[in-house]
Homo-oligomer: A and B are copies of this chain.
Amino acid sequence: MAPISFEFQAAPVGRARLGRLATPHGVIDTPQFMPVGTQATVKSLTPGDLRAAGTQIILGNAYHLSLRPGHERIAQLGGLHRFMGWNGPILTDSGGFQVFSLAHLGSVDDDGVTFASHLDGSPHRLTPERAVEIQEALGGDIAMAFDQLVDPGRPPADVERALDRTHAWAARCLAARRRPDQALFGIIQGGVDAELRRRSARTIAALPFDGIAIGGLSVGESKAEMAATLDVVAEELSGDRRVRYLMGVGSPADFFVAVERGVDLFDCVLPTRVARNGQVWTDAGRLNLRNARFAADPAPIDPECACEACRNHSRAYLAHLFRAEELLAYRLASLHNVTYTLDLMRRLRAALADGSYASLRKVVTEQYASTGAGSGKPPITDR
């Protein structure tokens, strides 16, 4: 039996789909957003908070967890679900993104990549087989193939060589899998080059993955380039009934662009990262709680929101907590942004079903066009 199953109906908006993804730890309504728990915690939040916020699936990070506390340690302690006290679905990232964003610390060859730990500089080796082994030890519901990212600004020959490697490594990941209860997703790369993206989509889709991810976007390209690339991939995948996951994308306006192009799953650190900088999301756009105008504002962050921060606290209180650098500031703002994001996905699904999609899209897109979604710069609480 397959570790996951996916059923969807086409929604009458572009290529949008409304689906249900069944995993060993529960069912996920799609389109869906996955809060990011890089180090086995969505920063500042408990599993209880995540459930209260409506979380159906979270993301963990094989690279970080294999270095600390170690995937063997997590396996000894019963796997990642038990280790972090989250019994819902988990997807683990393979580490490809981290390894290559730390590219100055390592070297890549056809077999894999050698890199230095960002924690202590100790040498490590990651190969497709090793990435699968680590993720199987962590025991998430969904694992990701190990891919080679490359700066799209590099010479075409380099970009193409990285793509060929990504495809070869995809097949090696499939050959290396041992756990029948863990799904494995392939990753389409190819930057913003339509021809490379098409080739990558065709190659990855031809392999027996349980789901298809789109990587290498939201890395500095324009919104138009992202949309065009998603169009190319969607055309190439038309007829493919597997679940589709757009990696690293998670601003309110981007969800609409991608859902219309057939994307079912999203993840991004943005909601929690900007929260720790005092930036909260509402249907009136982004508010910066450090702004002087909120210091005496008795209103909640968002009067429509049911999260604990909005139910119990004023903008003035949160503004005070941020100024005083109180830990509760980061927690309440994170809880709000995760709640807002998941609620937006819920509203987006409802709007796809009831025909009100265009008006929801308009409100959210316009507000975030004027305020932006916030800075991706690591906040002071990141190390």
- Identify the A interface with B (CB < 8 A): 39-41, 43-48, 68-69, 73, 76-78, 83-85, 295-296, 298, 308, 312-314, 316-317, 319-321, 323-328, 330-332, 381, 383
Complex CA gap A39/B323 in Å reads 11
Known: A40-B320, A68-B320, A324-B68. A85 touches B298 (CB 8 A): no
- By beta carbon, the residue of chain B nearest A86 is B312
* Interchain CB contact under 8 A, A77 and B298: yes
Contacts of A313 in B (CB 8 A): 84-85
Which of A312, A330, A383 has the most chain B CB atoms inside 10 A of its CB? A312
Contacts of A331 in B (CB 8 A): 44, 46, 327, 331
Contacts of A316 in B (CB 8 A): 69, 73, 77, 83
* Interchain CB contact under 8 A, B84 and A317: yes
| Distance in Å: Cβ of A301 to nearest Cβ of chain B | 13
Contacts of A48 in B (CB 8 A): 308, 312
* Interchain CB contact under 8 A, B46 and A312: yes
Complex CA gap A47/B298 in Å reads 18
* Interchain CB contact under 8 A, B44 and A327: yes
Known: A73-B295, A296-B77. A327 touches B84 (CB 8 A): no
* Interchain CB contact under 8 A, A317 and B383: no
Complex CA gap A175/B120 in Å reads 62
28 contacts between A and B (CB under 8 A): A40-B317, A40-B320, A41-B324, A41-B328, A43-B326, A44-B328, A44-B331, A46-B308, A46-B328, A46-B331, A48-B308, A69-B316, A69-B320, A73-B295, A73-B296, A73-B316, A76-B296, A77-B296, A77-B316, A77-B317, A83-B314, A83-B320, A84-B313, A84-B317, A85-B313, A327-B327, A327-B330, A327-B381
Contacts of A68 in B (CB 8 A): 320, 323-324
* Interchain CB contact under 8 A, A43 and B328: yes
Contacts of A326 in B (CB 8 A): 39, 41, 43-44
Complex CA gap A109/B299 in Å reads 43
Complex CA gap A38/B328 in Å reads 13
Known: A312-B47, A312-B85, A317-B85. A324 touches B39 (CB 8 A): yes
Complex CA gap A100/B78 in Å reads 52
Complex CA gap A327/B331 in Å reads 8
| Distance in Å: Cβ of A81 to nearest Cβ of chain B | 12
Contacts of A296 in B (CB 8 A): 73, 76-77
Complex CA gap A381/B329 in Å reads 13
* Interchain CB contact under 8 A, B78 and A298: yes
Contacts of A317 in B (CB 8 A): 40, 77, 83-85
- By beta carbon, the residue of chain B nearest A309 is B46
* Interchain CB contact under 8 A, A325 and B383: yes
The 8 A-B pairs with the shortest beta carbon distances in the complex, nearest first, are A44-B327, A85-B312, A69-B320, A39-B324, A41-B328, A41-B326, A85-B313, A77-B316
Contacts of A295 in B (CB 8 A): 69, 73
* Given contact pairs A41-B324, A327-B381, a sample of 10 additional A-B residue pairs in the complex whose CB atoms are under 8 Å apart: A39-B324, A39-B326, A44-B331, A48-B308, A69-B316, A73-B316, A77-B314, A77-B316, A78-B298, A327-B331
Which of A46, A48, A325, A383 has the most chain B CB atoms inside 10 A of its CB? A46
Contacts of A381 in B (CB 8 A): 327
Complex CA gap A30/B363 in Å reads 54
Contacts of A46 in B (CB 8 A): 308, 312, 328, 331-332
